């Protein structure tokens, strides 16, 4: 019974870390995309 509870806790922890990784990737991609858009909009005004 105790082992079963430990296993479920382990599964919960691994799922939690997966979410952290997914959110990290999502934030990173949003920041990268935002920076690219910002550069695309700012470059012409900076150059021109």
List per-residue pLDDT tens for the chain, 48 residues long.
566 666 666 666 667 888 999 999 999 999 999 999 999 988 887 776
Domain boundaries, position 27: 23-48
Provide the number of structural domains found in the chain: 1
* pLDDT given for residue 16 in this prediction: 80
Buried b (16+ CB within 10 A) or exposed e, 3-38: eeeeeeeeeeeeeeeeeeeeeeeeeeeeeeeeeeee
* pLDDT given for residue 9 in this prediction: 67
* pLDDT given for residue 10 in this prediction: 65
Task: Tell whether 6 is covered by a domain.
Answer: no
Task: Tell whether 17 is covered by a domain.
Answer: no
Task: Tell whether 7 is covered by a domain.
Answer: no
Task: Tell whether 46 is covered by a domain.
Answer: yes
Entry pTM:
0.55
* pLDDT given for residue 11 in this prediction: 63
């Amino acid at each position: 019974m105790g082992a079963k509870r430990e296993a479920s806790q382990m599964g919960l922890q691994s799922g939690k870390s997966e979410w952290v990784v997914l959110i990290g990737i999502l934030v990173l991609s949003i920041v990268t995309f935002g920076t690219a858009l910002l550069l695309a909009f700012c470059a012409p005004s900076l150059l021109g």
